[in-house]
Structure 1
Amino acid sequence: MFYRPEDGHGLKHNPFNAVVTPRPIGWISTRGTDGRENLAPYSFFNAVAYVPPQVMFASTGTKPDRDGTKDSLGNIRETNVFCVNIVEYEMRDVMNVSSGSWDRNVDEFDKAGIARVECETIAASRVANAPASLECKVTQIVQLPGAANFVTFGEVTGVHLRDDCVVDGMFDVLKFQPLARLGYRDYSRVTEVFSLKRPGEE
């Protein structure tokens, strides 16, 4: 099968996000200048650089009360900071609650019963028991083609690692089983790993 996106795919559901899988989930926490907080998962998320450490996430939708974007990006435009919380399998249900298109006045931490703590280097909350959290300051926001497609890049200014996830000096993903987004309504979790050496490595 071949199709041009501009012509449509002719399938029951759009296959695009089922092709680019699995995708890590950035659970983005922000706080607006009015003090209102937001927590929402984004599966168009990844790390993009080591030195300095940098990440990105893409917001691709709108809310009627947010002037052509979503609450996360709206808050980020005001404060230039955000926190990425890593989602473990055990948090799948509360993460899903926070994915709803709630009114701007709804605090997803409260809505889903998620404990929060204050970040160290930015003015925002983070998920208290997340396996890891990355505090970030915005480096740039890029508008992509399309009505509401924005990519936010951030430099990591603080890293939180949950103590039980650090084993023998390494961050061990099997301790928490990262949740990953597949296509449609499907998700997966990491339950096994293997290692490969690059050519020339000892």
Structure 2
Amino acid sequence: MFYEPGTTDHGLPYDPFKACVVPRPIGWISTLSPSGTANLAPYSQFNNLTFDPPYVMFSANQTDNNTQKDTVRNVEATGVFVWNLATYALREAVNATAEPVEYGIDEFQRAGLTKQAASLVEVSGKKVPMVESSPINFECEFFSKIRLPGNPPMGSVDIVIGKVVGIHIKEEVLTDGKIDVRKTQPIARCGYYEYAVIKETFEMIIPGGQKATLAGLEGSTKFHRKMEGGKTVGGRDGSKPQNENDASARTS
């Protein structure tokens, strides 16, 4: 079969596009509003972008009222957010925080989740809350936003990029110094209303064994810094935004 999205009909009872790109990591993003109200929501278009320094991205479509998602509003206003690993044990809470509610509602409370204060990122002196029961959390500073136009009301999307400035990993999910997917059991978004849980892995090493290539795949900051004589680019304030669509990258 072949079809042109938005132009010709695919002829299937359900739209296949999202089911073709699977599994997708879940961006379970927590923020604070400028007034200090907690927000928590999952986004299935999420990933890491690079490793030295680390950056992540998530994208949020408009609401059915053609307005920005609460998460994007908060990130743009405050300049900070936290990513929390969505796990199989927390799947019901992840699903509960996906429900659209009025701006200013605390999704942590609605989902019965305990908050843990971030170490670095804050809004007006108040630390951004993390999901305490999530085994991994990234504290992030807003770097830039790209708006992709789409058909109303929900087609337009905000792609938010953040620099990871702090990483929390619970000791119980480590085995021999590595994060053990059999312990974290992350969930991922598939097509339609389907999810996957990751419990098993297999290894493949690129032929040739070039150290730089393998270190890049591993995300080895230590090896990468040795290649450049220990040079670093920026501190927590980092590099300035390069994208013309970015209004400004703020810190709290």
TM-score normalized with structure 2 length: 0.77
* Offset at residue 109 of structure 1 (A): 0.2
Residue 22 of structure 1 aligns with which residue?
Answer: 23
**Does the alignment pair 1:156 with 2:164?**
yes
Amino acid at match of 1:126: M
Contact 2:39–2:104 under 8 Å retained in 1: no
Gaps of 5+ in 2: 123-127, 211-252
Gaps of 5+ in 1: none
* Offset at residue 52 of structure 1 (A): 0.5
**How far, CA to CA, are the matches of 1:150 and 1:61 in structure 2?**
8
**Does the alignment pair 1:93 with 2:92?**
yes
Residue 174 of structure 1 aligns with which residue?
Answer: 182
**Does the alignment pair 1:132 with 2:117?**
no
Residue 11 of structure 1 aligns with which residue?
Answer: 12
Residue 188 of structure 1 aligns with which residue?
Answer: 196
**How far, CA to CA, are the matches of 1:104 and 1:95 in structure 2?**
18
Residue 112 of structure 1 aligns with which residue?
Answer: 111
* Offset at residue 63 of structure 1 (A): 5.9
Count of aligned pairs:
200
**How far, CA to CA, are the matches of 2:55 and 2:64 in structure 1?**
27
Amino acid at match of 2:14: H
* Offset at residue 148 of structure 1 (A): 2.8
**How far, CA to CA, are the matches of 1:174 and 1:61 in structure 2?**
35
**How far, CA to CA, are the matches of 1:14 and 1:3 in structure 2?**
11
**How far, CA to CA, are the matches of 1:139 and 1:168 in structure 2?**
34
**How far, CA to CA, are the matches of 1:143 and 1:25 in structure 2?**
20
Amino acid at match of 1:3: Y
Q: Deviations over 1:133-154 (max 9, x none)?
A: 0010011011112153110001
**How far, CA to CA, are the matches of 2:12 and 2:102 in structure 1?**
32
Residue 198 of structure 1 aligns with which residue?
Answer: 206
Q: Deviations over 1:132-188 (max 9, x none)?
A: 000100110111121531100010000000110122111111112110100110001
Contact 1:84–1:133 under 8 Å retained in 2: yes
**How far, CA to CA, are the matches of 2:119 and 2:146 in structure 1?**
26
Contact 1:69–1:148 under 8 Å retained in 2: no
